[in-house]
Structure 1
Amino acid sequence: MKTYKYLFLLIGLSIISCSDLEEEPVGLLAPDGFFKNTTNIQTAVDGSLTHAINEKFWGRKLSIALMLRSDMVSLASNETRRVEMNEFTTLGSNGMISEFWPKTYEGIAAANQAIAGAEDVDVADEIKNPITAQAYFSRAFYYFHLVRLFGDVPYIDAPITDVDAATSLSRTPKAEVYANIIADLEYAKTWLPNTQASRATPSKAAASSYLALVYLTMENWQKAYDEAKEVIDNAGTYDLALDSNFQNLFNAEVIDGSKEPIFALDYNNVEAPDNAYDQIAPMAGIRGDDRNLGGGWSVAVPTLEVYTTWDAGDYRRAVSMDDEASINGTIVPYTQFDISGHQFAKNNPYVGKYARYPGAFARANARATSHNYSMIRYAEVLLIAAEAAVELGDNASALTYINKVRERARMGGATKTGADTEYTFAPSATPADLTGTVTVADVLEERRLEFAFEGIRWYDIARRKMGGAPYNVFDASGLEGAKPDFSADDYLLPLPEDELERNPNLTQNPGY
């Protein structure tokens, strides 16, 4: 029996510097003997957060899986692992799950090392706890992804060095996982400062915002509203605001100056070992596009209906989608994107958020960019408050918060087309403020447009069970047409097959 094959035998920690995010291990270290000061704790915390920018997590595998499982992105590929995600025929052997499941637990293991190691650092709580709180936040961040994707999951809250313990873990009920997530975020909220030098470092605002989202997912409407309202009421203290130009949120050259991101994964000019960089732009980019030294790989492509049903007066459509490209030196509309001649080129508008402004560091096809990917931003807090307010019968608050997001969408701004020509969009009357009674469907639709292609839509579909009535997003009337293999079991993913083979105490989700 080779112990390195067991996911949960996470004895050591790859210590990584997050200041420049170079993933270069300087040692595999157990807590004993390493943690002597707060700098050591911070190093371990940075190692935990760095796992999230890996290609196996947000760099491609998880982010693209979330896109494909939504109702806004179809597949232009015949790769089995992607086909399974897109068509809801996912198996436990799926090659995307087998990558992001262990990477998520590696991030958790590093957080656990930081928390355990902090006990050996003999300094005052006021000095130590604000750093350790980052590890609590990181652990909650990873488990929140796991519990939404898989339901009951093994919950590990301390370093594991015992082989028998590592191979006998069972699944923790999701209610208990959520309780632990909330406890971690509450600790983080208590000890984190109001602001940080970088939005990639968790702050009090990040902890409170995630608490609001966790409570929303659990359908605890009052607590979701209260947490979101706390962030909104203290936006000045937390240095938060809606960015006046929606495009800025996806511009690596200016994003560091934006007040809208609350917690972000910062790709800070990194092209490190083990694929610690992002590939989202090429995965979703136009095949044969002259931009970025070769354009995209035409894998995750919106259907035409995503574009045609989106009001052309909404500036967010122009930012979110590319409907023009320069292919082999010829500027063409989306109806001619197949002139590249590739079998997977589609005559549809493509995702435009990530290929336009990838920053000076971007490599061919806009890999290894300088993007900051917002995991949660101020607009989402406003819409959390709006949705919770609807459920609480507070229509006045729901109108206030949803219309703040719609008002920003009307401000216009500058963005590029696929031909790299910059256009300025004047302020628009679209989308108009909502009046009358706000419904849950109104808020979900606003979230769909505001966060298009940002990895959020699938989580909304799953928590609101939108595959069935009254939303029916995977029926023939849906944006992607009928998804005949979709069933209620598909709201959860299967646990990795190899994990079940190695640990008989783990059980598979229904339907797999």
Structure 2
Amino acid sequence: MKQLKYIALLLTAVSVVTSCSSDYLEPVPDSGITADAYFNNANEVETGVIAIYDAWQGVNDNDLSNNHSVQYEFYLTEMRSDNTRTKSQEGEAAQFEFYNVEATNGIVGNYYASMYSVIFRSNIVLENLGVVTDANLAASFEAEAKFNRALAYFNLVRLYGDVPLVDKVITPLDTETQYTRVATSTIYDLIVSDLTTAIDGLDNTYKTRASRAAAQGILAKVQLTLGNYSEAQSLCEAVMASGFSLQPNFNDIFYNERNSEIIFAIGYESALSSDSQNFSAEWMNGVGRTAGVNYVTDDVITALTDFGGDRTQYSFRNDPSQTSQNQVTKYLPNGEDGGADGKTFVNDATLAGNDWIVLRYADVLLMHAEAILAGGNETTDAAALASFQMVRDRAGLPTTVTIITKDALLLERRVELAFENQRLFDLIRFGRAEAVLSAFSAANGLGYTTSDLLLPIPQREINLSKGAMSQNPGY
């Protein structure tokens, strides 16, 4: 993925649609080259597969008309939980921490468009598999495309609720498909089907491309979300039998990239803007396209200090230039410490190469315990205890656990996966979001209400639909 150059021709001319960031499905063709003309063999279809991962990377700039994909994901997830906030409590970014997000918020619209860009590029690949004469290779490309489409839809449905279901390449005139919100249950049917196909068609060759274990792990999380616990347990155990292992040193997870714990990550490389990222610089002070976002709340500091063990020292630090504030350190740009002022980096911090981890083995172990807990309040099951204990042992926590409660598991996920965009989804899946976020909001003078669990449908989409597209309650 990172070692291959993305094919600009594919991104700009394979169809009338080049990106959801520019009036999704609306632009007039500006080239005579179409997907039918471009894709003639397996090598060209693979460029289409690589382009899907390019959409996940996002564009490393400050232009909201470009898709930024996972580079913006923390705003919509961590900053809407009790884990992070802005440093200054100002601007559009502060809407997330105060729970007063507007439908016109550019970040909300950008992420929505980014996920549909992934979906569009996946559909392009699926529509052109017929030119691949090797049946095994065609099955592999289909599996990769469906894995990515499923992951994008999983993000969309959890953040926005009912969304349009686009499972094929459509024309600009197909506004009914583009602007018809489909029930989440139907979206989940597609997600499960796509991930099942991915499991059947992939192996575990890659860490920054789709793999069987990645598909199994993501499907396990989907099944947990749907309350299908036995299916989730079997999927976790399949991953656990696939040779992954915890890194002995927690810090190495993030700076010894593509290690034994990584199951799937979005790959980046430093120094080259087309393959680098800016989000880790944004979390610092005075660097990046913005600064002082995704700063650490006192609430999560208490949790990490009391329950994090060895993880705490690697998860956050005092802002060197303002010690009353705290920064995330899991993704220091290129692993540098930024110097005493928190913003002087040897290399350009805005061109960082840190991979973004989507799924790692510790997450699977904790999901395994969650699946065995099966929505109950506690378990003493030996297999659940073993998985749970492995994560705690790596953190240097001395206690041998003899019972796992639902709240203890949620807390363990919080301190293990802090700042990895999991907290909000965990609170919702565990049925604790209302109580936790209401209390956090009251304690910090925020404005949380139940309707804030979903983001608004971007106002731009509603405007383009001429009012046919409905808005989520509360917006």
Structures share a fold, TM > 0.5?
Answer: yes
Aligned with residue 166 of structure 2, among 156, 168, 171? 156
Give the counterpart letter for 2:235 in structure 1: E
Give the counterpart letter for 1:42 in structure 2: E
Give every structure 1 segment of 4 or more consecutive aligned residues whose post-TM-superposition deviation is greater than 6 Å.
293-296
Correspondence 1:316 to 2:327: no
2:278 corresponding residue in structure 1: 279
| Counterpart Cα distance in 2 of 1:308 and 1:468 | 20
Change in 2 beyond 3 A, CA 1:309/1:380: closer
Correspondence 1:505 to 2:471: no
Secondary structure of 2:443's counterpart equals: coil
Secondary structure of 1:349's counterpart equals: strand
Change in 2 beyond 3 A, CA 1:62/1:363: farther
Q: Percent identity?
A: 28
**Equivalences for 1:171-186 in 2 at 5 Å?**
171-186=181-196
Give the counterpart letter for 1:53 in structure 2: Q
| Counterpart Cα distance in 1 of 2:319 and 2:455 | 36
Q: Is the 8 A contact 1:111 1:136 kept in 2?
A: yes
| Counterpart Cα distance in 1 of 2:293 and 2:172 | 42
| Counterpart Cα distance in 1 of 2:188 and 2:393 | 34
Correspondence 1:406 to 2:414: no
| Counterpart Cα distance in 2 of 1:33 and 1:22 | 18
| Counterpart Cα distance in 2 of 1:224 and 1:364 | 42
> How many residues align structurally?
436
| Counterpart Cα distance in 1 of 2:271 and 2:158 | 29
| Counterpart Cα distance in 2 of 1:206 and 1:168 | 29
1:491 corresponding residue in structure 2: 453
Secondary structure of 2:227's counterpart equals: coil
| Counterpart Cα distance in 2 of 1:48 and 1:363 | 32
Secondary structure of 1:353's counterpart equals: coil
CA displacement at 1:249 relative to structure 2? 1.4
Correspondence 1:443 to 2:451: no
Secondary structure of 1:475's counterpart equals: helix
Aligned with residue 432 of structure 1, among 396, 399, 403? 399
CA displacement at 1:359 relative to structure 2? 7.4
1:293-339 deviations in whole A, cap 9, x for unaligned?
899922221123422442367110011111373xxxxxxxxxxx43x
CA displacement at 1:475 relative to structure 2? 1.1
| Counterpart Cα distance in 1 of 2:454 and 2:445 | 16
With 223-232 and 350-359 compared, the bigger mean Cα shift is at: 350-359
2:247 corresponding residue in structure 1: 243
Aligned with residue 74 of structure 1, among 85, 91, 99? 85
Q: Is the 8 A contact 1:109 1:159 kept in 2?
A: yes
1:131 corresponding residue in structure 2: 141
2:179 corresponding residue in structure 1: 169
Correspondence 1:453 to 2:453: no
CA displacement at 1:34 relative to structure 2? 2.0
TM-score, scaled relative to structure 2:
0.85
Change in 2 beyond 3 A, CA 1:457/1:25: farther
1:97 corresponding residue in structure 2: 108
| Counterpart Cα distance in 1 of 2:96 and 2:393 | 35
Secondary structure of 1:433's counterpart equals: coil
Secondary structure of 1:348's counterpart equals: strand
Structure 1 unaligned blocks of 5 or more: 1-16, 326-336, 339-345, 411-429
Change in 2 beyond 3 A, CA 1:160/1:295: closer
Give the counterpart letter for 1:509 in structure 2: N
Structure 2 unaligned blocks of 5 or more: 15-33, 60-66, 338-344
Q: Is the 8 A contact 2:166 2:178 kept in 1?
A: no
Change in 2 beyond 3 A, CA 1:432/1:57: farther
CA displacement at 1:200 relative to structure 2? 0.5
Q: Is the 8 A contact 2:410 2:430 kept in 1?
A: no
RMSD over aligned Cα atoms: 2.6
CA displacement at 1:264 relative to structure 2? 0.4
CA displacement at 1:466 relative to structure 2? 2.4
